[in-house]
Amino acid sequence: MTTVMIGYARTSTIDQKAGLDAQLRDLQAAGCTKIFKEQLSSVANNRPELERALEFVREGDVLVVTKLDRLARSVADLVAITAALKEKGVELRILTMNLDTATPTGKLMLNLLGSIAEFERELMLERQREGIARAKADGKYKGRAPTARDQAAQVVDLKREGKSVKDIQNILSISRASVFRILKERREAC
């Protein structure tokens, strides 16, 4: 079976042309015969070109990325992607880390990196919770700003005055969906 190298390149914005060009150059130099590329934030719920790449790869192929952060946005994301690749019999290669999951060392390193990242995240969340508890005890923690539900009475009053949903939205600086949700809840309560 011939190993096919499939590349995936991503930049967060269309303004990062040089970054995308550098990734494409590195992926071609690594021997990728097909490259999927996109220019959008990893926080976007869907990355269509990554999804296409994951559908395209076949058993024995290698998915190649230049950096880990170009592929995964979190440890959970990394775990899901590597599980999907493993299920298809596809290896992962990360060029800047010289990491290749086709080797036992590469598999170990990927698992260690994932574990360390998860550990760091847990520590950060623990420190955050401690900081919030300390701020609450000192009376400095205010919590989230009031939500649209806190303005329910005003929404109903403005609607009774004959204001449109758009007017209510603008006056109270709340979303259209919030206005409709409040009005619906009030009708159901009557």
| 3-state SS, residue 6 | strand
Catalytic residue among 12, 41, 42, 74: 12
Cβ(20)–Cβ(37) below 8 Å: yes
DSSP secondary structure letters along 24-71: HHHHHHTT-SEEEEEES-TTSS--HHHHHHHHH--TT-EEEESSHHHH
Q: Known catalytic residue: 12?
A: yes
Distance between CA 171 and CA 174 in Å, rounded? 8
Token code pair at residue 52: 């296409």
| Residues noted as catalytic | 12
